[in-house]
């Protein structure tokens, strides 16, 4: 969907490496994102059916599972393992929290290859780098530098987010918020400079200036500030339009035992809240220079579950819930919400796939006969009517799609 059609066209037309080089010259220097996305698409275009795209989805899910497990490990360490929350429960609920009222999380994560690579992978990779930074090893430091470059080179907004957090950790390493993370300062410095090189690779590429002159209209300081606060308003509202925050809050109220280390739990909440706020600000700043979009918000949903889960536990500390009727009702609500989210997202994945196959056959015939009134399945949800747009709405998507279909049929 969307940007993926451009990658399909370019990879089919000129091959993997030439397509990456062309993007470097005409679009930007985030070669890591373009190479990774085009690599998986290249497997698909090389007569291996959808194995390449499937690999991308599988790796994305594995990265998410590993990331949520890191959050769970840190949660257990912060609270002294006094809260009995099984890792599979934490991971499952965290994954479900990506489901949105207007764009299913599974579709944005699993179907939209380039968007997932540029807007979700940087944060997932960055969290792994921070977790590894507690290790003392030359090999680990080298690996951290690789992860740093990739996370810094996938997209500008996410790169700046990673840089800011790393810099804060370097300067506030002795702060109580970081005592459990216990990262080595040398590893953080290595990570920072690797991220900086990744970011500079983006902005110094010939294509970055070309893209800016085409996409970014001349803006005033007032216009930029207005766009930033507008995007910030949309992004904050987007969090509360996701059932994830409510699911996390209810889960914190009813799962596990009562925390014994109230202060430690509050520190865990503060740490994740700071990171979520920085992510919101950098994402909104990126939107101000470009445009707000639902798939730009993937990264900060990584932090929504641990933040609201911790809030739920803290509320439970002050308003203890006895095991009784209220707790049973809340658990039933959580279970029902989980089932509804899972069924809705999996159903939309299936429906999207069926419609895409049907539309591809129709569109192939239309392109062959020089008819450009293409059809495409748009996923739109109440109450905002937002979702996943396809070839019917955007001309640039249609152009790339037509070029790809033409190359494929020939």
Instruction: Map out the domains of the chain as residue ranges.
Output: 3-409
Q: Which residue has the tokens 């479900």?
A: 96
Give the length of the chain.
410
CB 287 within 8 A of CB 293: yes
CB 398 within 8 A of CB 374: yes
pLDDT at 125: 96
Alpha carbon distance 248, 253 (integer Å): 9
Alpha carbon distance 220, 183 (integer Å): 41
pLDDT at 47: 66
**Nearest to 60, CA basis, from 105, 30, 90, 18:** 105
CB 355 within 8 A of CB 377: yes
Q: Which residue has the tokens 């990739």?
A: 150
Q: At what angle do helices 301-318 and 87-96 cross, to 10 degrees?
A: 120
* Bridge pairing between strands 379-381 and 386-388: antiparallel
Distances (CA, A) of 391 to 45, 370, 374, 410: 20, 16, 7, 21
Chain centre to alpha carbon of residue 60: 10
Alpha carbon distance 169, 175 (integer Å): 9
> What stretch of H or E contains 42?
helix 31-45
CB 79 within 8 A of CB 252: no
Chain centre to alpha carbon of residue 367: 34
pLDDT at 216: 56
Look up residue 227 and give its two tokens.
């766009």
Alpha carbon distance 252, 259 (integer Å): 11
Alpha carbon distance 92, 87 (integer Å): 9
CB 98 within 8 A of CB 109: yes
Handedness of CA 27, 29, 32, 33 (dihedral sign): negative
**Nearest to 92, CA basis, from 201, 248, 278:** 248
pLDDT for 99-153, tens place per residue? Answer: 666 666 677 777 788 888 999 999 999 999 999 999 989 999 999 999 999 999 9
pLDDT at 323: 55
Please identify every stretch of the chain with a pLDDT value under 70, giving residue numbers as ranges.
47-50, 81-82, 84, 99-105, 212-219, 256-261, 320-324, 377, 380-387
Q: What number of H helices and E strands is found in the chain?
A: 18, 2
Q: What is the dihedral of CA 22, 23, 25, 28, to 10 degrees?
A: -170
Alpha carbon distance 374, 393 (integer Å): 10
Q: Three-state SS for 379?
A: strand
Angle, CA of 101, 106 and 108, to the nearest 5°: 80
Chain centre to alpha carbon of residue 189: 25
């Amino acid at each position: 969907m969307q940007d993926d059609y451009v990658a399909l066209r370019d990879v089919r037309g000129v091959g993997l490496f030439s397509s990456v080089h062309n993007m470097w010259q005409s679009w930007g220097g985030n070669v890591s994102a373009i190479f990774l996305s085009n690599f998986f698409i290249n497997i698909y275009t090389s007569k291996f059916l959808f194995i390449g795209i499937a690999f991308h989805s599988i790796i994305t899910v594995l990265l998410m599972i590993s990331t949520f497990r890191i959050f769970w490990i840190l949660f257990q360490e912060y609270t002294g393992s006094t809260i009995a929350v099984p890792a599979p429960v934490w991971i499952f609920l965290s994954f479900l929290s990506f489901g949105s009222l207007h764009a299913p999380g599974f579709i944005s994560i699993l179907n939209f290859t380039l968007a997932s690579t540029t807007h979700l992978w940087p944060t997932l990779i960055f969290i792994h780098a921070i977790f590894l930074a507690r290790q003392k090893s030359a090999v680990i430091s080298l690996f951290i530098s690789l992860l740093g470059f990739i996370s810094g080179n996938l997209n500008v907004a996410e790169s700046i987010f990673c840089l800011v957090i790393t810099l804060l950790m370097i300067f506030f390493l002795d702060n109580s918020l970081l005592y459990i993370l216990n990262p080595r300062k040398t590893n953080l410095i290595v990570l920072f400079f690797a991220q900086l090189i990744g970011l500079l690779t983006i902005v110094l590429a010939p294509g970055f200036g070309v893209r800016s002159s085409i996409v970014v209209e001349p803006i005033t300081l007032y216009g930029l500030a207005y766009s930033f606060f507008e995007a910030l308003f949309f992004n904050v509202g987007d969090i509360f339009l996701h059932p994830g925050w409510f699911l996390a809050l209810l889960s914190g109220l009813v799962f596990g035992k009562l925390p014994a280390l109230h202060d430690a739990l509050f520190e865990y909440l503060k740490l994740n809240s700071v990171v979520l706020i920085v992510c919101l600000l950098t994402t909104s700043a990126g939107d101000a220079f470009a445009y707000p979009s639902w798939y730009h918000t993937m990264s900060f949903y990584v932090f929504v579950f641990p933040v609201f889960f911790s809030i739920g536990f803290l509320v439970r500390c002050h308003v203890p819930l006895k095991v009784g009727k209220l707790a049973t009702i809340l658990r039933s609500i959580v279970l029902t919400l989980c089932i509804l989210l899972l069924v809705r997202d999996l159903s939309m994945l299936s429906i999207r796939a069926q419609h895409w196959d049907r539309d591809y056959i129709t569109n192939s015939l239309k392109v062959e006969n020089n008819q450009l009134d293409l059809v495409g399945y748009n996923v739109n949800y109440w109450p905002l009517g937002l979702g996943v747009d396809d070839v019917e709405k955007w001309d640039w998507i249609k152009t790339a799609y037509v070029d790809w279909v033409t190359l494929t049929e020939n």
